[in-house]
Structure 1
Amino acid sequence: MAPSELGRPAHPSGRIVLAATPIGNLGDASARLRDLLAEADVIAAEDTRTARHLCQALGVSATGRFLAHHEHNEEASARGLLEQVRAGATVAVVSDAGMPTVSDPGYRLVAAAVAEGLDVTCAPGPSAVTTALALSGMPTDRFAFDGFLPRKDGDRRRRFEEIRTDPRTVVYFESPQRLTDALAVLAETLGAQRPVCVARELTKLHEEVVRGTAEEVLAWARERAAGEGIRGEIVLVVGPASATEGAEEVSEADAVAEVGVLVASGTRLKEAVAAVAGAHGLRNRDLYQAVLADRAG
Structure 2
Amino acid sequence: MQASERMNGVLYLVATPIGNLGDISLRAVEILKSVDLIAAEDTRHSRPLLDRYGIDRPLFALHEHNEQQASDRLIDRLKAGQCIALISDAGTPLINDPGFPLVSRARAAGIIVTPVPGACALVTALSASGLSAARFVFEGFAPRTGAARRRWFESLVAEERTLVFYEASHRIRDCIADIATVFPEDRGVVVARELTKLHENFVCAPAADMPALMDRAPENSKGEFVVMIEGAKPEPAQTGLSPEALRVLKLLLEECSLKSAAGLAARITGARREDLYRAALELKHAEGDRV
| Normalised-by-shorter TM-score class | 0.7 to 0.9
The 2-side partners of 1:20 and 1:231 are apart by 24
Report the equivalent of 2:17: 22
The 2-side partners of 1:114 and 1:53 are apart by 31
Question: Does the 8 Å CA contact 2:173/2:221 hold for their aligned counterparts?
Answer: no
The 1-side partners of 2:71 and 2:132 are apart by 37
In structure 2, the CA distance between the partners of 1:27 and 1:212, relative to structure 1 (3 Å rule), is same
2:233 pairs with 231, 234, 242, which one? 242
- Describe the SS at the equivalent of 1:89: coil
**Matched-pair identity in %:** 41
What is the TM-score with the length of structure 2 in the denominator? 0.77
Residue 54 in 1 paired to residue 45 in 2? no
1:11 pairs with 5, 13, 18, which one? 5
The 2-side partners of 1:87 and 1:189 are apart by 53
The 2-side partners of 1:202 and 1:99 are apart by 14
1:139-190, Cα deviation, whole Å (9 max, x unpaired): 1111111011111111111111121111100111001221111111111111
In structure 2, the CA distance between the partners of 1:120 and 1:25, relative to structure 1 (3 Å rule), is same
Question: Does the 8 Å CA contact 1:9/1:117 hold for their aligned counterparts?
Answer: no
Pick which of 66-75 and 229-238 moved more: 229-238
What is the TM-score with the length of structure 1 in the denominator? 0.75
The 1-side partners of 2:27 and 2:168 are apart by 31
Report the equivalent of 1:262: none
List structure 1 runs of 4+ shifted beyond 4 angstroms. Answer: none
TM-superposed CA distance for 1:224, in Å, is 2.4
The 1-side partners of 2:124 and 2:102 are apart by 26
1:68 pairs with 61, 78, 93, which one? 61
Question: Does the 8 Å CA contact 1:194/1:244 hold for their aligned counterparts?
Answer: no
1:94 pairs with 87, 91, 101, which one? 87
Residue 182 in 1 paired to residue 175 in 2? yes
The 1-side partners of 2:213 and 2:125 are apart by 18
1:26-175 pair list within 5 angstroms: 26-58=21-53, 60-62=54-56, 64-175=57-168
The 2-side partners of 1:244 and 1:155 are apart by 27
Q: Which segments of 5 or more consecutive residues in structure 1 lack a partner in the other structure?
A: 246-297
TM-superposed CA distance for 1:10, in Å, is 4.6
TM-superposed CA distance for 1:61, in Å, is 3.1
- Describe the SS at the equivalent of 1:29: coil
Query: Structure 2: which amino acid aligns with 1:170?
Result: L
| Two-structure CA RMSD over aligned residues (Å) | 1.8
Report the equivalent of 1:232: 223
Q: Which segments of 5 or more consecutive residues in structure 2 lack a partner in the other structure?
A: 237-291
TM-superposed CA distance for 1:200, in Å, is 0.3
**Alignment length, in residue pairs?**
235
In structure 2, the CA distance between the partners of 1:39 and 1:224, relative to structure 1 (3 Å rule), is same
Question: Does the 8 Å CA contact 2:185/2:208 hold for their aligned counterparts?
Answer: yes
Question: Does the 8 Å CA contact 1:15/1:91 hold for their aligned counterparts?
Answer: yes
Report the equivalent of 1:219: 212
- Describe the SS at the equivalent of 1:159: helix
The 2-side partners of 1:18 and 1:153 are apart by 35
- Describe the SS at the equivalent of 2:115: strand
Question: Does the 8 Å CA contact 2:165/2:227 hold for their aligned counterparts?
Answer: yes
- Describe the SS at the equivalent of 1:26: coil
The 2-side partners of 1:19 and 1:35 are apart by 11
The 1-side partners of 2:223 and 2:235 are apart by 29
- Describe the SS at the equivalent of 2:186: coil
